[in-house]
Amino acid sequence: MTTNWIWPVVEGNWAVLAKKNVWATYSDKARAKVRKGDQIVFYVKGTGNFRAVYRLGSDWYPAQVPIWYDELAANKVRYKHQVAMELLELGSANYKSLVHSLSFVKNKKQISVYLQSMGGGPANHGRPVSDEDFAVILTELQRNPGPLEEIPHVEEGSIAIAGKPTAGGGSPRPTTALLPWLFQDLESVARGLINREKYVEGRDPSTIFEDLVFLAFRFLGYNTSRQLGYKRGAGRPGPDGEARSSNADYVLVYDVKQRAEGYALSAADHRALREYVEAAQSRGDTNVFCVVVSSGFSGEPRPMNGVPLTFIPASTLLELVALKVQNPEIVNSRTLKKLFGTTGILAHRNIEQWASYHDADRLDMRHLLKLTTETVG
């Protein structure tokens, strides 16, 4: 007999599920009651939507290596029970729009509690959902089918990143599918070190660094439709990109500086940054912040006619991405705005203060940074 379950997943781990077609848990109870042939509706936290239905395609087996993002941070297996999954349906079904048709949601005024994982197991207080409720969600997914979000192209070599082809042809390639590239490569590429087996031959570290920073801002919730930099073409001045807030009125004009020993702001660069900001303001953007991302920095930034300039080390940008993985509902361009409102270097202590204020869960970045350093070479 097939049993239906609902299971929440953070965006980062949703990407792993979509790519590898596996699921995992640390819960012995969940392993015992969710069995081969059962169906799981996955709700992606922070999106408001059910995104897919999978069937357990195997019995549970012991996980051998860390693959989930909190596991990568700790560099050890946390979810000890793993299972193969078969994709049945992919789409988007908004939870709030379906609430009044779902019988398992008893209290229509406290709907979020029914999507909370119970001790590492399924949602709905660890109970299955009826065939009728399952059919309501499945029908809505079928009404709104389609592949996962498109991502900007980042060339890569022999290591595949796309997952199982979808019903519409092609492969799901969400921004989150490239999170391993950020976690493994951002700091090393910032210093000019790249894995030649991973990236297309001839790629310069500075252009790869631009791509990774672009992806980091997009994953944090910014509209990064304008990647500039090397894609603008040689001899055409301008910033490396603009990251526009999707839910607050401001834009980050950013420049990416790949340096082996850290970046020092020159008078010429300061003048160029000021011109980039003025160009954005001339287009009607009134709230403009300026950001420089590099491996590290020598010296402090200087404000530009009242516009704050923030230096972001690659390690700090990784911390923000890790916070987003753990807290998709909390970390977004609106809540991050205060981090860029003051001229200075964005440091680990600033991230800790921000996370504490917003009551955000933190990953152990010491393990994550150790992992990213050891991956290259």
CATH at residue 99? 3.10.590.10
**Residue 367 pLDDT > 70:** no
**pLDDT, tens digit, 9 for 90 and up, residues 66-101:** 888 777 766 789 899 999 999 999 998 999 999 999
pLDDT score of 172 = 33
d(CA 350, CA 362): 13
Instruction: Examine the pLDDT at 152 and tell me if it is beyond 60.
Output: no
pLDDT at 176: 53
326, 211: one domain? yes
- Asked if residue 166 is part of any domain, the answer here is no
Residue 238 lies in a domain: yes
pLDDT of residue 165: 27
- Please check whether residues 236 and 371 belong to one and the same domain: yes
According to the model, what pLDDT value does residue 198 have?
67
Q: Kindly state the percentage of the chain with pLDDT values over 90.
A: 49
pLDDT tens per residue, range 189-222: 999 988 776 666 667 889 889 989 998 998 888 8
The first and second tokens of residue 323, run together, are 């916070």
Q: Please report the pLDDT score of residue 73 as a whole number.
A: 63
Q: What is the pLDDT of residue 155?
A: 31
pLDDT at position 150 over 50: no
Are 135 and 85 within one domain? yes
In this model, does residue 158 exceed pLDDT 80? no
Query: What is the reported pLDDT for 229?
Result: 64
Residue 220 and residue 125 in one domain: no
Is 165 part of any domain?
Answer: no
What pLDDT shows up at residue 144?
Answer: 85
- Whether 66 and 133 map to the same domain: the answer is yes
Residue 63: per-residue pLDDT: 95
pLDDT of residue 223: 81
122 and 243 in a single domain? The answer is no
Confidence label for 285 from pLDDT (cuts 50, 70 and 90): confident
- When pLDDT is averaged across residues 268-283 and rounded to a whole number, the result is 91
Residue 156 maps to a domain? no
198 versus 128: the higher-pLDDT residue is 128
What's the pLDDT score for residue 146?
65
pLDDT number for residue 232 = 60
Do 125 and 188 fall into the same domain? no
Of 105 and 238, the one with more pLDDT = 105
pLDDT in tens, 227-250: 566 666 666 678 888 898 867 789
Tell me, yes or no, whether 167 lies in a domain. Answer: no
In terms of Cβ atoms closer than 10 Å to its own Cβ (0-12, 13-18, 19+), residue 43 is buried
Q: Quick one: three-class SS letters along the chain?
A: CCCEEEEEECHHHHHHHHHHCEEEECCHHHHHHCCCCCEEEEEECCCCEEEEEEEECCCCEECCCCCCHHHHHHCCCCCCEEEEEEEEEEEEEEHHHHHHHCCCCCCCCCHHHHHCCCCCCCCHHHCCECHHHHHHHHHHHHHCECCCCCCCCCCCCCCCCCCCCCCCCCCCCCHHHHHHHHHHHHHHHHCCCCCCCCCCCCCCHHHHHHHHHHHHHHHCCEEEEEECHHHHCCCCCCCCEEEEECCCCCEEEEEEECCCCCECCCHHHHHHHHHHHHHHHHCCCCCEEEEEEECCECCCCCCECCECEEEEEHHHHHHHHHHHHHCCCCCCHHHHHHHHCCCEECCHHHHHHHHHHCCCCCCCHHHHHHHHHHHCC
Same domain, 222 and 368: yes
In a domain, 155, yes or no: no
Task: Indicate if 124 and 209 belong to the same structural domain.
Answer: no
Same domain, 48 and 125: yes
Range among 256-265, 323-332, 366-375 with highest mean pLDDT value: 256-265
The tens digit of pLDDT for each residue in 41-60 reads 999 887 889 999 999 999 99
**Tell me, what's the pLDDT at 115?**
93
- pLDDT, residue 74, reads 65
Provide the residue range defining the domain that includes 235. 175-375
Q: Are both 242 and 323 inside the same structural domain?
A: yes
The domain that contains 306 carries what CATH number?
3.40.91.30
If asked whether residues 227 and 361 sit together in one domain, one would say yes
- Closest-CA residue to 361 (of 327, 319, 322): 327
pLDDT at 147: 59
Kindly state whether residue 251 falls inside one of the protein's structural domains: yes
What pLDDT band is residue 225 in, cutting at 50, 70 and 90? low
- Tally of domains within the chain: 2
pLDDT at 364: 57
For residues 70 and 147, which has the higher predicted lDDT (pLDDT)? Answer: 70
What does the pLDDT average to over 294-312? 92
CA 37, 171, 15 angle in degrees (round to 5)? 65
Residue 152 lies in a domain: no
Q: How confident is the model at residue 26 (pLDDT cuts 50, 70, 90)?
A: very high
